[in-house]
Amino acid sequence: MRNSTEGLIIMDTKTKDFIYDVSKREIMKCNISKVVDLVNHMENIMGFKGCNEKLNICFSGYDDDPREIYTIPEIRAYMKKLVTKKPYIPYFITKKDGFRAVIMSCICDVEILKTEKGVNSLSIRMPKDMSEIIIKGLILSAESNNLDIPEMRESMKDMPF
Separation of alpha carbons 64 and 34, rounded Å: 24
Q: Closest by alpha carbon to 55, among 5, 10, 4, 105?
A: 10
Q: So what's the pLDDT on residue 3? A: 45
Which tens digit of pLDDT belongs to each residue from 104-135? 999 999 887 877 787 778 888 999 999 999 99
**Beta carbons of 20 and 35 less than 8 angstroms apart:** yes
Q: Domain coordinates of the chain in residue numbers?
A: 9-155
Q: Closest by alpha carbon to 90, among 41, 126, 122, 119?
A: 126
